[in-house]
């Protein structure tokens, strides 16, 4: 049974605002060592140094790190089955590995088992909220929503729209896709912690008519999310240029259809130009930076500094199965290396913010998730600072807070996870 008043003790770390790009001392970082996080009725009601009274069920994790649950803003449920597939760039990878794997999700039993396995895996990696691609099959979206509702999770997803340039078994058509989307919106959008995202796979797999339909759905209801891919790979960008000669750029294909808005999440955004960045910033859309995927598929190096300068939001995402781990620490550690290759340095604060409060703000969910503010739902994870002799030795000599947290981000992974709570309820325990 879940206690109505739960108090967790540990080193509490969250953000009260947006840290500066390379700041090591940031006023936006709230670190409360050896403190209690108070949860009542599934919501955070406060933090304090003093031990709470006997009306609280207490769990003492002294010497451990307590963080808001991570938010993965771009990940593919069915692609757990093709994670770590050898030898291809994006377009070959889709045809060789991904499309065959996604075809299996037409089967409701496969979709249900896959959704359960996927969400349990997220929780076992410290991710409590996600923006997720299922497959083109309506049943795969239903399975994902049902499984998230069962676990009480915040989930944003939608049936994938794709009506060309894919195997027939993965293609819908405009009229059926519209009916299926509307039915799913009616049944799941706004139910519990679920929200619907109009889900255009990417420009090459949708006809102009389907893109127009997707835009119409967004225009009809501003509370809907939109998710897609943009400018990930150079061959893909060239293909889009040929398919949509009238568009100024890949991003413009989406912009012209009204798909760029404050609830839009576009994965990758590597091969954008300055005009694209200006358009993105004006639209309020966010880019999901997927460093593990971008390195694994050889897609390119995302320019986060240019994104900051342009002023659009950037969140962090695993993009499994293009990405090679659901771990957000591994994702962020890869993000640091991508920035290093570009001659930049990503602070632990900028990185962790992009997987917590920053992602929540980008999604308009900062009243609900991403930090320990009073009234938010208690999606919380407890982590070991160090696992194993190498990390333990490193922590012996770490002095200042940024050094410690940066080493944690770089050296830790899901093996450090002790427990995950969703709305105050334990959903994973090591």
Binding site for Zn ion (CB under 5 A): 267, 319
CA dihedral 46, 65, 33, 334 (to 10 degrees): -110
373: partner contacted, choices ligand GUN, Zn ion, none (Cβ within 5-8 A by kind): none
Residue 412 CB neighbours (<10 A): 23
Q: 194 near 149, Cβ under 8 Å?
A: yes
Residue number, 7 or 136, with CB nearest to Zn ion: 136
What does 90 interact with, of ligand GUN, Zn ion, none (CB < 5 to 8 A by kind)?
ligand GUN
Q: Which of 94, 255, 378, 391 binds ligand GUN (CB under 6 A)?
A: 94
The one segment of 90-98, 306-314, 327-335, 410-418 that binds ligand GUN by CB under 6 A: 90-98
At closest approach, how far in Å is the CB of 47 from ligand GUN? Answer: 38
Helix (H) or strand (E) holding 129, with range, is strand 127-133
CB under 5 to 8 A by kind: which of ligand GUN, Zn ion, none does 94 bind? ligand GUN
- Which of 77, 72, 66 has its CA nearest to residue 128? 72
**Cα angle at 79 between 232 and 102, to 5 degrees?**
100
Q: Is 15 near ligand GUN (CB under 6 A)?
A: no
Among 146, 220, 130, 230, which residue's Cα sits nearest to residue 181? 220
Both tokens of 353, joined, read 């913010």
Among 29, 90, 143, 363, binds ligand GUN (CB under 6 A): 90
Q: Which residues of 207-223 are buried (b: 16+ CB within 10 A; e: fewer)?
A: beebbebbbebbeeeee
DSSP three-state, residue 89: coil
Which of 319, 361, 368, 414: binder of ligand GUN (CB under 6 A)?
319
Q: Rounded CA gap, 274 and 269, in Å?
A: 12
Q: Among residues 202, 225, 244, 302, which is the contact residue for ligand GUN, using CB under 6 A?
A: 202
| Site membership for ligand GUN, residue 134 (CB under 6 A) | no
* 229 lies in the binding site for ligand GUN (CB under 6 A): yes
Is 354 a binding residue for ligand GUN by CB under 6 A? The answer is no
322 makes contact with ligand GUN (CB under 6 A)? yes
Cα atoms found within 13 Å of the Cα of residue 236, Cβ hemisphere only: 27
Binding mask 266-305 for ligand GUN (x = CB under 6 A): ---------------------------x------------
* Alpha helix ranges (H) inside 171-290: 174-188, 208-220, 234-243, 250-256, 274-283
CB 75 to Zn ion: min, Å: 7
- In the bound state with Zn ion, the residue whose beta carbon lies nearer, of 202 and 406, is 202
Q: Is 170 in the site for ligand GUN (CB under 6 A)?
A: no
Task: Write out the two tokens for 245.
Answer: 């000669």
- 159 lines the binding site for ligand GUN (CB under 6 A): no
Element (H, E) at 7: strand 5-15
The residues facing 40 across adjacent strands are: 5, 43
| 380 belongs to the binding site for ligand GUN (CB under 6 A) | no
| 81 near ligand GUN, rule: CB under 6 A | no
Neighbours of 175 (CB within 10 A): 10
**Closest CB 98 distance from ligand GUN, rounded Å:** 5
Pick the closer one to ligand GUN by CB: 126 or 322: 322
Q: Which residues bind ligand GUN (CB under 6 A)?
A: 76, 90, 94, 98, 201-202, 229, 232, 293, 319, 322
């Amino acid at each position: 049974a879940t206690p109505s008043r739960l108090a967790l003790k540990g080193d509490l770390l969250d953000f009260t605002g947006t840290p500066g790009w390379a700041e090591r001392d940031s006023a936006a970082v709230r670190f409360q060592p050896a403190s209690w996080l108070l949860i009542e009725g599934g919501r955070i009601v406060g933090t304090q140094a003093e031990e709470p009274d006997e009306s609280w069920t207490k769990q003492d994790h002294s010497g451990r790190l307590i963080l808001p649950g991570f938010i993965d803003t771009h990940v593919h449920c069915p692609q757990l089955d093709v994670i770590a597939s050898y030898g291809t760039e994006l377009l070959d990878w889709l045809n060789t590995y991904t499309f065959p794997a996604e075809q299996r999700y037409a089967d409701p039993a496969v979709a249900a088992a896959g959704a359960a396995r996927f969400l349990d895996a997220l929780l076992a990696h410290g991710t409590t909220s996600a923006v997720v691609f299922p497959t083109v099959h309506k049943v795969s979206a239903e399975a994902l929503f049902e499984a998230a509702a069962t676990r009480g999770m915040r989930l944003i997803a939608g049936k994938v729209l794709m009506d060309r340039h894919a195997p027939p078994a993965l293609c819908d058509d405009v009229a059926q896709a519209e009916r299926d989307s509307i039915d799913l919106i009616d049944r799941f959008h706004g139910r519990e912690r679920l929200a619907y995202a109009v889900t255009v796979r990417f420009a090459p797999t949708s006809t102009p008519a389907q893109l127009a339909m997707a835009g119409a759905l967004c225009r009809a209801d501003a509370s809907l999310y939109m998710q897609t891919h943009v400018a990930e790979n150079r061959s893909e960008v060239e293909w889009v240029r040929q398919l949509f000669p009238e568009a100024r750029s890949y991003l413009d294909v989406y912009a012209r259809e009204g798909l760029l808005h404050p609830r839009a999440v576009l994965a990758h955004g590597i091969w954008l130009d300055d005009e694209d960045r200006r358009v993105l910033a004006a639209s309020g859309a966010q880019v999901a930076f997927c460093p593990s995927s971008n390195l694994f598929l050889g897609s390119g190096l995302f320019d986060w500094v240019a994104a900051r300068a342009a002023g659009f939001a950037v969140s962090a995402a695993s993009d499994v199965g293009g990405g090679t781990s659901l771990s957000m620490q591994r994702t962020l550690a890869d993000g640091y290396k991508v920035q290093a290759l570009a001659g930049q340095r990503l602070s632990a604060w900028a990185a962790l913010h992009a997987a917590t409060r920053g992602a929540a703000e980008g999604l308009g969910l900062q009243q609900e998730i991403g930090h320990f503010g009073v009234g938010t739902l208690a999606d919380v994870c407890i982590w070991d600072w160090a696992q194993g002799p190498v990390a333990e030795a490193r922590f012996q000599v770490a002095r200042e807070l940024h050094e410690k947290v940066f080493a944690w981000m770089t050296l830790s992974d899901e093996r450090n996870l002790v427990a995950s709570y969703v709305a105050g309820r334990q959903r994973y325990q090591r």
